[in-house]
Amino acid sequence: MSNLTFGIIKPDAVAKGHTGKIIDKILGAGFKIRGLKLIHPSKKHS
């Protein structure tokens, strides 16, 4: 069995354009990204 880690980049970091830097840090730490998904939550999700 392998270990998986789930991460979320907060909306304010995305709005400020830090997504690429955050992903670079994750990869630099030796993690492999198996999937990415960008969602736009509605009021229902809040």
Q: Tens digit of pLDDT for each residue in 3-28? A: 888 999 998 999 999 999 999 999 99
> Taking residues 26-32, what's their average pLDDT?
94
Q: Taking the CB of residue 13, how many other CB atoms lie within 10 A of it?
A: 13
Indicate the Cα dihedral angle 8, 13, 14, 16, nearest 10°.
Answer: -170
The SS3 of residue 39 is coil
**pLDDT at residue number 3:** 84
**pLDDT at residue number 42:** 79
Is 80 exceeded by the pLDDT of residue 31? yes
Higher pLDDT, 44 or 40: 40
Q: Where are the domains of the chain?
A: 1-33
The residue whose two tokens read 């509605």 is: 42
> From CA 10, how far away is CA 14, in angstroms rounded?
7
Q: Taking the CB of residue 1, how many other CB atoms lie within 10 A of it?
A: 3
